[in-house]
Amino acid sequence: MLLWIIVYCTVFALAWAWALVWVIEREDKTFMHGTISFADAFLVGAFSLIFVYISNIIVIIRWPRSAFLYDLLLVTGLAGFGLYKETVYKTRAVLSWKRLRDEALALEWNITKDPANGAYYERLSEVYEKMGKTRRALEAAREAEKLGPSVKNALRIKYLERDRLSGRQRRG
């Protein structure tokens, strides 16, 4: 009986800690908002693993009839945390999109006032690329290349053309 308790608590704690770290790391992979370092993810996973493992053993041994409810509470809390973080991530993505759109509009307005400034076109190309508008990013990069030929502008055009031909957006 004790062996089954240890095996169950170990498997449950590992699965719960993995799910927690996955929820935290999802922000970087899906919404590209930044990154969590391996050390931070490991620390969160280790503390949650130890907490869930020890508390689960205590609850199963001390209150065996409440063990299922305790595990259900832990899973529900994790699901609630995941939904909360997902909402936060989506809100940040919308706000990021609005910020990029506003920056693009401001750059376009500045270009109408000073059309000979290549730096505006370079930044406009970067903003359009982040927004996923590869065609507009390529047009702005070509204008920047006309106004200020440089290796950076030439490489930017090359990468944008390659991405446009392959039909995907370059991340990074």
Q: What is the pLDDT of residues 89-103, one digit of tens each?
A: 888 778 888 888 898
**125: closest CA among 159, 166, 99?**
159
Q: Are residues 75 and 7 in the same domain?
A: yes
Q: Are residues 55 and 27 in the same domain?
A: yes
Q: Are residues 75 and 51 in the same domain?
A: yes
Classify the phi-psi angles of 150: left when phi > 0, otherwise alpha if psi is within -120 to 50, otherwise beta.
Answer: beta
The whole-angstrom separation of Cα 126 and Cα 133 is 10
Q: Are residues 44 and 104 in the same domain?
A: no
Q: Are residues 69 and 111 in the same domain?
A: no
pLDDT at 109: 92
User: What's the pLDDT tens digit per position in 15-38?
Assistant: 989 988 888 887 666 665 666 777
Q: What is the CATH number of the domain that holds 114?
A: 1.25.40.10
Q: Which domain covers residue 158, as residue numbers?
A: 95-166
Q: Are residues 113 and 159 in the same domain?
A: yes
Domain assignment present for 129: yes
As for how many domains the chain has, the answer is 2
* pLDDT (mean) for 106-110: 89
SS3 of residue 114 by DSSP: coil
Using the 3D structure, point to which of 38, 53, 82 is the last residue of a domain.
82
The whole-angstrom separation of Cα 25 and Cα 17 is 12
Q: Are residues 10 and 37 in the same domain?
A: yes
Tell me the residue type at 31.
Answer: F
Q: Are residues 78 and 6 in the same domain?
A: yes
Domain assignment present for 90: no
Give the pLDDT band of residue 76 (cuts 50, 70, 90).
very high
Q: Are residues 64 and 128 in the same domain?
A: no
Check whether 73 has a pLDDT greater than 90.
yes
Q: Are residues 101 and 143 in the same domain?
A: yes
Tell me the residue type at 151.
Answer: V
Q: Which tokens is 57 given?
A: 């053993």
